[in-house]
Amino acid sequence: MNEIIIKRPVVDFYNRSFEKFLVILCCLLVVALFEVCGVEIRSMPKTLFIIVFMGSTFLLSWVLLKILKLPKRNYLTISDDSIVVNDKRKQWSVRFDEVESFECEKVTIWLFTMYTGEMNVHFNDDNDYVKMIDADGLTMKPQPLCDLLNERLNSYKEKA
């Protein structure tokens, strides 16, 4: 079998706590740009200044946020004998020889059973150790991904 790489279709998560700082920085950059271009801010009509200032600040903030939100790397790489998970800026791997099964986490509310975006990895040790893989936002839904991983796990165990 060959290696499968499953990516996030949208941007990777990033820290939102610096967005206010980024907008303030963009305001300062726009004012500096006005000064460099020789635009007399004091002589501009107030409404024109507000429209130009707000529009250019919004545009600059939007461009910078798009650059910061670029995806960093692949999220999940499945090979014949292991998977490599890039989980929130750290990378860890799971070898199939230490795994018992993969299953999607279910939540039951009243009579409804829903699958969450988490996937449980059950290991072969005596401690019933379970590790979580965040499968939310991938190009593949969690249940088909879980089926694929169990299929790879079974084929690995048959070869061994």
pLDDT 10s digits, 19-48? 777 778 888 888 888 888 888 877 888 888
pLDDT at 8: 61
Element (H, E) at 50: helix 46-68
Question: What proportion of the chain, given as a percentage, has pLDDT over 70?
Answer: 83
Please give the residue that has the higher pLDDT: either 90 or 10. 90
Give how far the C-alpha of residue 2 lies from the chain's centroid of Cα atoms, to the nearest Å: 24
Give how far the C-alpha of residue 93 lies from the chain's centroid of Cα atoms, to the nearest Å: 18
Tokens of 53: 């200032």
Q: Is the pLDDT of residue 73 over 60?
A: no
Looking at the chain, the number of H-run helices and the number of E-run strands are: 3, 7
pTM of the model: 0.56
| Mean pLDDT of all residues in 61-90 | 75
Q: Is the pLDDT of residue 14 over 70?
A: no
pLDDT at 13: 47
| Mean pLDDT of all residues in 76-97 | 82
Q: Which domains does the chain have, with CATH numbers?
A: 16-68 (no CATH), 73-159 (2.30.29.30)
CB 96 within 8 A of CB 153: yes
Q: Is the pLDDT of residue 123 over 70?
A: yes
